[in-house]
Homo-oligomer: A and B are copies of this chain.
Amino acid sequence: MSGKAKRDGVADIKMSDIARHAGVSPMTVSRALRDPASVSEKMRRKVDAAVREFSYLPNRIAGSLSSKRSNVVGLIVPSIQNSLYANMIQAISDVLRANGFHLMIANSGHRLDDEEALVSALLAQRVCGLVLHNTTHNKRVRDLVAKTGVPVIETGNLPAEPLDMVVSYSNFEAARAMTAHLGRLGYRKIGFVTLPLRDNDRSEERRRGYFAALKELGLPADPSLVLEAPGGFSEGADALVRLIQTHPGLDAGFFAGDVLAVGALFECQRRGWAVPGRVAIASFDDLDLLRHAVPAVTTLRIPRHEIGRRSAELLVNRLLGAPAERVRIDVGFEIVQREST
């Protein structure tokens, strides 16, 4: 653990030095810095002058220890390398920063044990709040969260038993709605391509939604119409080709994740399959790319940015004194019908 990350004393000025040079007490410096209104104009000037003279940077580590208060929020996402999360992270980061908080980011790689290790590590750093893009957790994670009482936001799905606060949409409802939408448009043989289901309640929910819609549409639930694929362009392309080989009558493909749909679309362009003439393509998540592709791709708009913003806002409110109550925000979703279906 940890290295010899020594920040040696080069010009290591502390508050008492500033106090001495300003001719005031350390407490006055502390106050002048944290709550300027609480000291007199005269004192403030003296302190400010000394602070500037030495470019003094208060040591927040010491501050946090002393006040038992931290201004760092921990965030765990399954993968940083994904523009969906990036949208959310940006929003979180912006809100936190506007309120004087910082963000510590880690990625779990979709592994629950890694999530546990990261939660422990972040709690050891005494983060003042956590955002988890995941709603199924280890027992130890649940225990730690309960025991420490850190405010937590869960995101990415609407769990039955949240740890604390939740901001998300329903993967089940979203997938069901899109499948139903395809049915309404007249498609009858709808393939479903999902991200890996293992340890991923979100994928699982989406698949359930797909089947639920088929049932409502009175269409047969054929498991061979469902393919599991890691995210990626090639994987989407492969999946579509395989589906069409096994089901020549396939008239639509619903790609529930990560650029799979675009991969499939490109494959159609390469093979000269008309979209939606030969096969319709629908996607999940409103990547910019989908709107600009030719043809533009029908998709589900998930308000990722809003999820991030509201998560951070809830957290900040709680940290600023709002009562600790379980909050469950469903930000919903929206079907965006475009040219590909």
| Interface residues, chain A, with chain B CB atoms under 8 Å away | 1-8, 10-11, 34, 55, 57-62, 64-65, 68-72, 79-83, 86-87, 89-90, 93, 97, 99-107, 120-126, 128-129, 140, 143-144, 147-150, 232-234, 237, 259, 262-263, 266, 269-270, 288-289, 291-294, 316, 319-321
Q: Which of A7, A71, A104, A237 has the most CB of B within 10 A?
A: A7
A147: chain B residues at CB < 8 Å are 10-11, 55
Chain A interface mostly: mixed
With a CB–CB cut-off of 8 A, which chain B residues contact A101?
Answer: 2-3, 5
Which chain B residues lie closer than 8 Å to A68 at the CB level?
A: 6-8
Q: Give me 19 A-to-B residue pairs in the complex whose CB atoms sit less than 8 angstroms apart, sorted by A's number.
A: A3-B320, A5-B129, A6-B68, A6-B69, A7-B70, A7-B150, A8-B68, A8-B149, A10-B148, A11-B147, A60-B124, A61-B65, A61-B70, A61-B125, A102-B125, A103-B105, A105-B105, A234-B292, A259-B289
Count of this chain's copies in the oligomeric assembly: 2
CB distance from A251 to the nearest CB of B (A): 22
In Å, the complex CA distance between A122 and B99 comes to: 15
